[in-house]
Amino acid sequence: MFQSASLPVALSKSEYERLEPALRTALLAAQQQVVDRKPFSVMILIAGVDGAGKNDAIARLHEWMDVRYLTCNAYEEKETEGERERPQLWRYWRDLPARGETSVVVGSWYNTPLRRFVLGDLDEDGFERALARINRFEELLARENVLVLKFWFSLQPKVQKERLKALKKKARARRILAEWTDIAHASDAQDAFEKAALTTSTAAAPWIVIPSGDPQSRDIALGRCIEMAMRRRLAAAPADPLAVPTVVARVKRISAVDAIDLSQRLPKARYSAELEHWQAELARLVDKKAFRDLGLVVAFEGNDAAGKGGAIRRLIRPLDPRRYRVHRISAPSREEKAHPYLWRFWTRLPRQGHAAVFDRSWYGRVLVERVEGFCTEADWMRAYNEINEFEAELAAADTLVVKFWLAISKQEQLARFKAREETPYKQFKITDDDWRNRLKWDAYAEAAGDMIDRTSTPDAPWALIAAEDKRHARVAVVRHLVERLKDAL
Amino acid sequence: MFQSASLPVALSKSEYERLEPALRTALLAAQQQVVDRKPFSVMILIAGVDGAGKNDAIARLHEWMDVRYLTCNAYEEKETEGERERPQLWRYWRDLPARGETSVVVGSWYNTPLRRFVLGDLDEDGFERALARINRFEELLARENVLVLKFWFSLQPKVQKERLKALKKKARARRILAEWTDIAHASDAQDAFEKAALTTSTAAAPWIVIPSGDPQSRDIALGRCIEMAMRRRLAAAPADPLAVPTVVARVKRISAVDAIDLSQRLPKARYSAELEHWQAELARLVDKKAFRDLGLVVAFEGNDAAGKGGAIRRLIRPLDPRRYRVHRISAPSREEKAHPYLWRFWTRLPRQGHAAVFDRSWYGRVLVERVEGFCTEADWMRAYNEINEFEAELAAADTLVVKFWLAISKQEQLARFKAREETPYKQFKITDDDWRNRLKWDAYAEAAGDMIDRTSTPDAPWALIAAEDKRHARVAVVRHLVERLKDAL
C-alpha cells in the first residue's frame, strides 16, 4: 500500500513561502466555518514513525489554526490510574471535541494494538479483532458528526536513521515524539501500520500517508488535507460521512504510475534469449507438483495500447492449454449487470493447479467506472476495501494473485493508435472509445495512482511495468510472474 | 438476545386458514414487483436448530411463491472438490441470484464458523475474525442490491427433544434438515448463534428469529417477514439498504415486556425483612476486596411512574456514598447535544471499586428518541449494535453492567399519575410530558420489546422486574443486583 509515499518530494524555500500564506488563509476560513456552523467536530490523528516530525507538524497546525477551537490531546502508552480502571476507549471519549471544535490526537487508539502486534504480544487473529473494534468505533464517530482524519507520517528507513542521528546532536532532540523507541527499525512500525491500514482505511475514516522526508512539503500536505477534508464535509449532506479520497497527501501530486521509468528497454539482440529463458522457467514451475495445490490469478491493467494482449500471449505460451483460461473483460453483459460487479470475477476463479488470466479486471470499478461516472464516488471509494478483501480471500485459499500495470507515455500511445489505424489487420483494435479515453488521460492517471496506492497489499502487490518498449515489457511480465511463483511454491 | 423468542406462540387451524390466503397474495404481489422492476435480488438464509422444521418451511415458501424466480441452494458441510479448491465464499458467489430473483440458502456461510466454534476448533478471536469477514461480505451484498434476510429457527431444548423423538418414528424423519447431528443439544447451537448474532445483526443484514414451536405460526411469521422486507426495500431509495426492524418474527406480536407477570407481589409483612436481608448481602459484597477491582454500572429504564426512583434509593442505601454516584438522565444539555449521544455516559463511567447508577440511560436512543422521532430510523437501528459494543467494552474492562426494566400496567400508571397530581409533595414528579408519553403507550412498549430482544447479551442481560407492586419491585431489584455481583466476584 501507499506506493507513492516513497516517491521523492521536496519543496524549495521560495515555493513554500509562496504556498504557505494561501493555505493558511484557506485553512482558517474552513475552520471558521466549522466553528460558526458547528455541523461536526474534527479529530486529527497524528501517527507515524519516530523522527518524521510529528511534533513539528503539530506545532505548525497551532500556528496556522485558531487555537481557541483547537486542542491537542496526547495519550501516553502507560495509562494513568483513572484510565487503567476504565475501558480502553474511555480517555478518547472523555476528550471528544464538541461540534465546531478540533482535536489533535497523539497516541491514538491505534498505538496499543500496533505496538503489541509488532512486539509479538498480539497474534494475527487478536490484531484483526482489535482493528475490527476500532472500525466500529470510528464508524460510530463518523455517523455521529465527527470528521476523523488519520495521518501516518512516513519516512524511508535510511532517511530516518540519518535524521535521528543528526537530531541527537541538537537541543531540538527532546522535541522528537518518540513512540517507537523500543522498536529499532522504522520498517517494523511501517509494516504493522500497513497491515492495520488495510483493514481500517474505511470510506468513513481513511488513512492518509504524509511523506515526511521534506519538512516543508510535509506540513503543506498535512494542512491541505485538513483544509480539503473540512471543506468537503461542509459541502456534504449532513448524514453522509464523506471521505477524503487522497490516500497519500503531497504537495506536488506524483502518482506511482507517473514515476515509472519508461526509458527501460531491452535490445532486440537479447530479447529472444531472455524471453525463452523466463518462459522455460515458467514452464518448469507450473510443472512442479506443488503447483497443483496452488491457484493462479493474473490481472492485466494499463494504458490503452500498452500491449497487454501481446504480453499475455507470451505469458501463456509455456502453460498447458487445459490448465489456464484467458478472460477478456469488456462492458458487462446484461446478466453480469444484474449481479454485484465482482460476480463475474468470482465465478471465473480457477481451481487449484489452474490459472485464470484477466485482460482487464475487477479494477475497472476504480478505473473506467470511476472516471466515466458509471458508479458513484461512494461506490468506487468502498471498492478499494472490497477488492482488497476479495484478493485476501484468494490468498487465504492458496491462490496467487499477480497484478500488472503496463505503462506507456501519452506520445507513445498516440503513435500506436495511429499505427493501428493504418494497419488493416490491426484496425479492429482501435475504437472511438480509445480516442475518447485518451482525452481523459490525466483522470485515468489519477485513478490508476490511487488504485496502486490503495490496493498494493502484501498478499497482492502491483507490478508496475514500463511498456514503452514492448520487448522489455513482455520479458518483465514473464520474469515477474516467475519470481512470484518461485516465492509461492 | 431474542428474549421474546421463547414466549409461547400458537395458531389455531382456523386462524391459520384465515391468515394464509391473504399472506400468500401479498407475498406473491411483492415478489412480482421484484421480478418486474428488478431493483434487487433476494437471499433468504434459513438456519436454526435441527427439528425446527427448516425443510418444511422451505417447502411452504415454494408453495407460496412463484417458483420460476425462486431457487433453493443447499450447501453441504463437506465441500465438493471444486469448492474446496477455491475460496470459501466462492460457492455462494457462484449461485448469487440475479436482480429480480430470489434464492433460498441452506448451509450458508455461517455454518462452518458456527460449527467450528461449538466444536472448539475455533477460539474466540478466530470466531470474531470470521464474523467480521462475514459482515464485510454481507455489507457488500447489501450495497450491491442484494436483500439479505437471515432467519434463525429456534426451539426450546425441551421441545426439540420431544420433536426429534416423535419424528424418529415417522417416515417424515428423513425430511429433517440435520445440520447439528453431531452436536447433542439445541442450546449449544443456540448459544453459538446468539454470539454470532450479536456481531452480525447489522443494519444492512439483521438476524430474524423465528420461534418454531408451532409449525403454522412459524411459516406465517417467515412469510410475513419476507413480504414485509421486500415491500420496504421496494419503497426505499435505491442506495439505501434498509433493514427489517423486527428481530423476532411472530404472528401475534408479543414483546418480552408484555409477557412480564405483573401479578407478582410481596406481602407487607415480609417486605422489611426481605429488603434488609438483600441490602445486607449487597453491603457485604461491595465490602469485599474483590469489588475494588470491579466497576459497577446500573441502568434503570421502565414505564413512567414505575418506581425507578424508589428502587434506586433502596439499592444505594447499603453503598458507601463516596463510592457511587446516581445520574438522573433527562434531555441532553447543549454541550451534550454537541457530542455523540453516548458521550455523556462514557464520561460518567465509574472507576474500579465504584458504582454509577443511571436513572434512565443510553437506552433513551432506542426508546424516547425512536418513539418521538428525535433521531432517524437508521440512527436508532444502528444504536443497538453501538450499545452492545459499548457494554462489551465495559465488560472487557471488568465493569459489571446491570440493567433493569421496571414494568407496570397502563391502569396502574394512570392511578399513580393521579395520585401524584393530588399529593402536593409529589406534584413535581408529574409533567405534561408524562401524559403525552402515556398516549404513546403502545409505541413505547414496542420499542421496549425490540430493545430487550436486541440488547440482552450474555455480558449484560436485562432484568425484567414486575413493578405493579412496589415492594416486590424494590426487593427484586436489590436481590438481582446481589445475584449478579455474586457471579462476578
Give 10-residue mean pLDDT values along chain A (489 residues): 76 90 95 95 94 92 95 90 91 95 95 90 90 92 93 88 78 66 71 87 87 92 93 79 65 80 94 96 94 96 95 95 94 93 96 96 96 90 92 94 97 93 82 88 92 91 96 97 95
B389 min Cα distance to partner chain A (Å)? 8
pTM for this predicted structure: 0.88
Are A396 and B87 an interchain contact pair (Cβ–Cβ within 8 Å)? Answer: yes
Residues from chain A that touch B350, judged by Cβ atoms under 8 A, are 86
Question: What pLDDT is attached to residue B238?
Answer: 64
Are A351 and B82 an interchain contact pair (Cβ–Cβ within 8 Å)? Answer: yes
Q: Which pairs from A366-373 meet CB under 8 Å and 24+ separation?
A: A366/A447, A366/A450, A366/A451, A366/A454, A366/A455, A367/A301, A367/A444, A367/A447, A367/A448, A367/A451, A368/A437, A369/A341, A370/A447, A371/A440, A371/A443, A371/A444, A371/A447
Are A129 and B125 an interchain contact pair (Cβ–Cβ within 8 Å)? Answer: yes
Residue B174 pLDDT greater than 60, yes or no: no
Question: What pLDDT is attached to residue B185?
Answer: 67
Neighbours of B14 (CB within 10 A): 8
Q: Does A385 touch chain B (CB under 8 A)?
A: yes
- Report residue B166's pLDDT band, with 50, 70 and 90 as the boundaries: confident
Task: Please answer whether residues B444 and B407 qualify as being in contact, where contact means their C-beta atoms are separated by less than 8 angstroms.
Answer: no
Question: What pLDDT is attached to residue B187?
Answer: 75
Q: Does A96 touch chain B (CB under 8 A)?
A: yes
What is the C-alpha to C-alpha distance for residues A188 and B92, in angstroms, rounded to an integer? 37
Question: What pLDDT is attached to residue B109?
Answer: 95
Task: Please answer whether residues B340 and B299 qualify as being in contact, where contact means their C-beta atoms are separated by less than 8 angstroms.
Answer: no
Are B100 and A338 an interchain contact pair (Cβ–Cβ within 8 Å)? Answer: yes
pLDDT tens string B121-140: 999 889 988 998 999 999 99
Question: In terms of CA atoms, which chain B residue is nearest residue A142?
Answer: B340
What is the C-alpha to C-alpha distance for residues B287 and B318, in angstroms, rounded to an integer? 10
pLDDT tens string B414-452: 999 999 888 888 877 788 888 888 899 999 999 999 999
Q: How far is CA A478 from CA A280, A281, A283, A475, B398, in A?
A: 10, 9, 11, 5, 57
DSSP state of A329: -
Are A85 and B295 an interchain contact pair (Cβ–Cβ within 8 Å)? Answer: yes
Q: Which of B275, B202, B290 is nearest to B477 (CA)?
A: B275
Residues from chain A that touch B382, judged by Cβ atoms under 8 A, are 143
**Radius of gyration of the CA atoms of chain B, in A:** 24
Are B140 and A342 an interchain contact pair (Cβ–Cβ within 8 Å)? Answer: yes
Question: What pLDDT is attached to residue B407?
Answer: 97
Q: Does A338 touch chain B (CB under 8 A)?
A: yes
Residues from chain A that touch B378, judged by Cβ atoms under 8 A, are 239
Question: What pLDDT is attached to residue A425?
Answer: 82
Q: Does B393 touch chain A (CB under 8 A)?
A: yes
What is the C-alpha to C-alpha distance for residues B406 and A5, in angstroms, rounded to an integer? 58
Residues from chain A that touch B94, judged by Cβ atoms under 8 A, are 346-347
| Residue B322 CB partners (closer than 8 Å, separation 6+) | none
B60 min Cα distance to partner chain A (Å)? 27
Q: Does A335 touch chain B (CB under 8 A)?
A: yes
Residues from chain B that touch A37, judged by Cβ atoms under 8 A, are none
DSSP state of A79: P
A346 min Cα distance to partner chain B (Å)? 6
Among the listed ranges A49-58, B188-197, B228-237, B245-254, which one has the minimum average pLDDT value? B245-254
What is the C-alpha to C-alpha distance for residues B299 and B312, in angstroms, rounded to an integer? 10
Chain Cα centroid distance, residue A234: 25
Question: What pLDDT is attached to residue A452?
Answer: 94
Question: In terms of CA atoms, which chain B residue is nearest residue A90?
Answer: B346
Residue B167 pLDDT greater than 90, yes or no: no
What cell does A401 get? 494473485
Instruction: Name the residue type at position B291.
Output: F
Chain Cα centroid distance, residue A182: 28
In chain A, residues 234-263 whose CB comes closer than 8 Å to chain B: 239
Q: How many CB pairs under 8 A join A and B?
A: 142
Task: Please answer whether residues B380 and B366 qualify as being in contact, where contact means their C-beta atoms are separated by less than 8 angstroms.
Answer: yes
Instruction: Name the residue type at position B342.
Output: L
Residues from chain B that touch A132, judged by Cβ atoms under 8 A, are 128-129, 132
Are A340 and B144 an interchain contact pair (Cβ–Cβ within 8 Å)? Answer: yes
Greatest Cα pair distance, chain A, in angstroms, is: 79
What cell does A485 get? 511463483
Q: How far is CA A103 from CA A74, A197, A245, A263, in A?
A: 10, 21, 21, 47
What is the C-alpha to C-alpha distance for residues A286 and A291, in angstroms, rounded to an integer? 6
What is the C-alpha to C-alpha distance for residues A121 and A290, in angstroms, rounded to an integer? 33
Among the listed ranges B25-34, B213-222, B241-250, B353-362, which one has the minimum average pLDDT value? B241-250
- Report residue B195's pLDDT band, with 50, 70 and 90 as the boundaries: confident
Residues from chain B that touch A351, judged by Cβ atoms under 8 A, are 81-82, 85-86
Are B143 and A85 an interchain contact pair (Cβ–Cβ within 8 Å)? Answer: no
**Closest partner CB to A386 (pick from B88, B133, B140):** B140
Q: Is the dihedral of CA A413, A419, A425, A430 positive or negative?
A: positive
Question: What pLDDT is attached to residue B172?
Answer: 58
Residue B103 pLDDT greater than 90, yes or no: yes
Instruction: Name the residue type at position B483.
Output: E
What is the C-alpha to C-alpha distance for residues A408 and A415, in angstroms, rounded to an integer? 11
Task: Please answer whether residues A363 and A453 qualify as being in contact, where contact means their C-beta atoms are separated by less than 8 angstroms.
Answer: no
Task: Please answer whether residues B206 and B147 qualify as being in contact, where contact means their C-beta atoms are separated by less than 8 angstroms.
Answer: no
Q: In what order do the strands lie in the sheet with A70-74?
A: A70-74, A102-106, A41-48, A146-154, A207-211
Q: Which of A147, A346, A349, A369 to mutate to test the interface with B (most CBs of B within 10 A)?
A: A346
Are B87 and A141 an interchain contact pair (Cβ–Cβ within 8 Å)? Answer: no
**Closest partner CB to B136 (pick from A145, A349, A389):** A389
In chain A, residues 341-380 whose CB comes closer than 8 Å to chain B: 341-343, 346-347, 349-353, 376, 378-379
Are A340 and B376 an interchain contact pair (Cβ–Cβ within 8 Å)? Answer: no
Question: In terms of CA atoms, which chain B residue is nearest residue A294?
Answer: B85
What cell does B207 get? 438476524
Residues from chain B that touch A291, judged by Cβ atoms under 8 A, are none
In chain B, residues 98-157 whose CB comes closer than 8 Å to chain A: 98-100, 123, 125-126, 128-129, 132-133, 136-137, 140-141, 143-146
**Closest partner CB to B338 (pick from A88, A98, A239):** A98
